[in-house]
Structure 1
Amino acid sequence: MQASGFDFRQMAAEAGAALNDGNAAAALTGFRAILAAGGEDASIWYGVALAATALEDHAVRTEAITRGLELEPHNPRLLILKADDYALAGNDRAAAAHYNIVLRMIPDGAQLPPDLEKAVARARLKCSQYAGEYADKLSARLAAKGVVLGGERDRFSRSFDVLTGKRQIFYQEPKVYNFPELPQVQFYDRAMFPWMDRVEAATDDIRAELIEVLSDDAAFAPYIEGKKDRPQNDVHKLLNNPAWSAFYLWKNGRPIEDNIARCPKTMAALAGAPIPQIRHRSPSILFSLMKPGMHIPPHSGLVNTRLICHLPVILPEGCEFRVGNEIRQWEMGKAWAFDDTINHEAWNRSNETRVILLWEIWRPELTPREREQVTALFEAIEDEDGRRPDWDI
């Protein structure tokens, strides 16, 4: 950046160095010299604003922020300074609006220069503070109207948390197949699945069979196993990791007869479940094992025409599961169903192994005819190209 004999980059560097050295007056003189010479841009006005801040010259700071945003309305540094001014003046709504613009512009985990990273962290903290204060005020007004917020599983309470910024909104993100117009439900109401009573009642028998399996050190294999013809993209260090292991009764639509023979009562308990039967695809039924300290990172499933069911069988304390914006703890012998195409993750924070029985079912919203059509579709895909793609849960 050079014009009419002026090296604006050098001048800006010198002004910035003066500012870093604590000589705000020299910095302000330097930035103003650049502006006078025709080197105006948003970064120079930002420098003026910082120098004016150090000199406690509010009028110059305000002018610099305004002029800089006229040139570059989405400059995050200037927007945060503007938000700071609104916050200082007690205009929380205006401050939150400006902070939130910046937070929407910059995704979580983005690599930022140190100064901007610090400013963004401040913006997040302020927005969290505003959201909490706003939620408290609304809660008090609702209470005065006789509306009391419930717990984690109360739908209205969760909607309130989304409104006040305490919860993020998550949607289905199937990696392979999306069936349209299905509801966005994270955890399903247990009352929708009366056949789960039979599964839960068999918990002790299922655990007894599992304990026998666990006596065989070779029974469980890593949930994610490497294949010679697939890319070895192991970002989360889960490939061939026995800390997350599986013992399959059915895998990708194929019964594992020897394993089924070891768990007859487990299979009998599932007899009433609406389990898909799709050649080389479904079902998959397995015991999923997480060793102490294991974390299964956020991910989403393949198709939204099914739900995944869990029944905890060996359950130490400190085990949690998140689907979308809801975190739950398993309860021994209590089953649930969830949509695995919504972002989810799991933790075993205990010093013991956790094991659940995991299986898939048809989504209850699909009609019998639609289930037939989905089955025919995936079997037709295989008939057409002869592929048997992975269909792991």
Structure 2
Amino acid sequence: MALTNHDAERLARSGVQALQGGRSAEARRNFEAITQSGRANAQIWLLLAVACRADTDALAEEAALDQLLALEPHAVRGLIMKGDCRAGADDERAALRLYEMALRIAAQQELPDDLRVEMQRAEIWVAALKEQIVDRRETTLNARGWPENLRSARFQQSIDILAGRKRIFVQEPTAYYFPELPQIQFYDRALFDWVPAVEAAAATIKAELTSLLADGLEGFRPYIQSEADQARANPLLDNRDWSALFLCENGRRSDDVIARCPSAMAAVQSAPLPYIANSPTVMFSLLRPGARIAPHTGMHNARLTCHLPLVVPPNCRFRVGNDVREWEEGKLMIFDDTIEHEAWNDSDEDRFVLIFDIWRPELSDQEREQVAAVFLGAADA
């Protein structure tokens, strides 16, 4: 049917008035006349879909929405309505995908009040469906003989990520990336044969630290310090709430500190310290009461970082990726510091940890020599 622009506009106005008056069949005829003429834009297809919904014709509604979304794939109202159609057809997966797409797009927009109500409805539906999916998955796993207490830690983490309870964290070094290394947040201490020797020295190292602290915090300095050529926006910049006393800093020994803490330096020698241009680093780390170290990542993933907790009051926590733990005095933590991590001291006492870095166990001797050469070259440049 040939329509002039004037005819199409008249039909559109009449269709809107019919919708407002509750005459869905009349509205539908008007909008269909426009679509059959080839003059329909995205708004007309949306109005036709609304009229078809009011006329309880789900198939025609969804066909109109398909035309709308072909013209405007990011039309939030169209995505919500299409999601409703799929939900009504018991196609939960497609409905979930459409609702989630609408929610992502809507988060970047200002929405009218009526559409905000629709978005809230979609949010509730998505949450409820995800909960049902999680419940069904758990039922299946339990029926197959895999209750949570029999699952490996990393398999359970995959389930938590699938359920949206945890995020995917990967290595994000700020300076140097060595590829094809496993993405492990915390390493199992039992994998390292030198761990018992370091942990056996914890009480002696703590005594050395206590002796140092008898003279106050002399020698401790802010871990993050201002640099002339580098501006940093960090609440702990030049802040003694996160301070360090170095036995060895970027490969440079502090002989006066080592003389007062010989057991500390001797104990870490049993570990595979990376003697390269800017390593190893061995230090006492102080986190004052109420302090928080914001999420950050380390420089390179050819190493791991070790914490030997020495003085740990309650309510001190440490997160690497998805895994939040509390330090336990004398018990090593070994982790990949190129995975996002942060720390809190929510107690009213100071927290002290001995920190040192080690080679990653996955690197061969040849690869370690090659990495060392890279950093030596950078230091000479």
Residue 273 of structure 1 is matched in structure 2 by: 271
Distance 1:196 1:83, change over 3 A: same
Structure 1 distance, partners of 2:117, 2:302, is 44
Residue 190 of structure 1 is matched in structure 2 by: 189
Structure 2 distance, partners of 1:364, 1:89, is 53
Give a deviation string over 1:214-248, Cα, whole Å, max 9, x none.
Answer: 44234322221111221x230x4232222222222
Which amino acid is the alignment partner of residue 79 of structure 1? L
Give the superposition deviation at 1:256.
Answer: 1.9
Residue 391 of structure 1 is matched in structure 2 by: none
Structure 1 distance, partners of 2:117, 2:240, is 39
Give a deviation string over 1:198-220, Cα, whole Å, max 9, x none.
Answer: 22222222222223334423432
1:256 aligns with 2:259: no
Which amino acid is the alignment partner of residue 271 of structure 1? Q
Q: What secondary structure does 1:169 align onto?
A: coil
Structure 2 distance, partners of 1:275, 1:63, is 65
Which amino acid is the alignment partner of residue 343 of structure 2? A
Q: What secondary structure does 1:322 align onto?
A: strand
| Greater alpha carbon shift after TM alignment, 373-382 vs 343-352 | 343-352
1:358 aligns with 2:350: no
Structure 2 distance, partners of 1:350, 1:339, is 26
TM-score by length of 1: 0.76
1:346 aligns with 2:339: no
Give the superposition deviation at 1:118.
Answer: 7.7
Contact kept, 8 Å, 1:245 with 1:290, in 2: the verdict is yes
Give the superposition deviation at 1:352.
Answer: 3.0
Contact kept, 8 Å, 1:244 with 1:288, in 2: the verdict is yes
Structure 2 distance, partners of 1:112, 1:151, is 45
Structure 2 distance, partners of 1:112, 1:147, is 43
Q: What secondary structure does 2:186 align onto?
A: coil
Contact kept, 8 Å, 1:213 with 1:219, in 2: the verdict is no
Output aligned runs, 1:171-190, within 5 Å: 171-190=170-189
Give the superposition deviation at 1:61.
Answer: 6.9
Output aligned runs, 1:218-367, within 5 Å: 218-230=218-230, 232-234=231-233, 236-279=234-277, 281-367=278-364
Give the superposition deviation at 1:367.
Answer: 0.9
Give the superposition deviation at 1:362.
Answer: 0.1
Residue 205 of structure 2 is matched in structure 1 by: 206
- Structure 1: gaps (5+ residues): 386-393
Residue 389 of structure 1 is matched in structure 2 by: none
Distance 1:138 1:256, change over 3 A: same
Give the superposition deviation at 1:291.
Answer: 2.5
Structure 1 distance, partners of 2:99, 2:307, is 40
Structure 2 distance, partners of 1:382, 1:283, is 14
Q: What secondary structure does 2:170 align onto?
A: coil
Residue 160 of structure 1 is matched in structure 2 by: 159
Give the superposition deviation at 1:117.
Answer: 7.9
Contact kept, 8 Å, 1:284 with 1:359, in 2: the verdict is yes
Structure 1 distance, partners of 2:151, 2:144, is 21
Contact kept, 8 Å, 2:74 with 2:105, in 1: the verdict is no
Give the superposition deviation at 1:63.
Answer: 6.5
Distance 1:102 1:202, change over 3 A: farther
Structure 2 distance, partners of 1:120, 1:258, is 64
Distance 1:367 1:197, change over 3 A: same
Structure 2 distance, partners of 1:257, 1:151, is 50
Give the superposition deviation at 1:106.
Answer: 5.6
Structure label with greater radius of gyration:
2
Structure 1 distance, partners of 2:325, 2:186, is 10
Residue 69 of structure 1 is matched in structure 2 by: 69
Structure 1 distance, partners of 2:362, 2:69, is 50
Which amino acid is the alignment partner of residue 262 of structure 2? P
Structure 2 distance, partners of 1:238, 1:46, is 53
Residue 130 of structure 1 is matched in structure 2 by: 129
Give a deviation string over 1:175-202, Cα, whole Å, max 9, x none.
Answer: 2111122122221121111211122222
- Report percent identity of matched pairs: 44
Contact kept, 8 Å, 1:291 with 1:352, in 2: the verdict is yes
Which amino acid is the alignment partner of residue 258 of structure 2? I
Residue 378 of structure 2 is matched in structure 1 by: 381
Structure 1 distance, partners of 2:257, 2:151, is 38
Structure 2 distance, partners of 1:260, 1:43, is 75
Structure 2 distance, partners of 1:74, 1:195, is 56
Give the superposition deviation at 1:65.
Answer: 3.9
Q: What secondary structure does 1:350 align onto?
A: coil
How many residue pairs end up in the alignment? Answer: 360
Structure 2 distance, partners of 1:141, 1:227, is 56
Contact kept, 8 Å, 1:150 with 1:157, in 2: the verdict is no
Structure 2 distance, partners of 1:355, 1:100, is 45
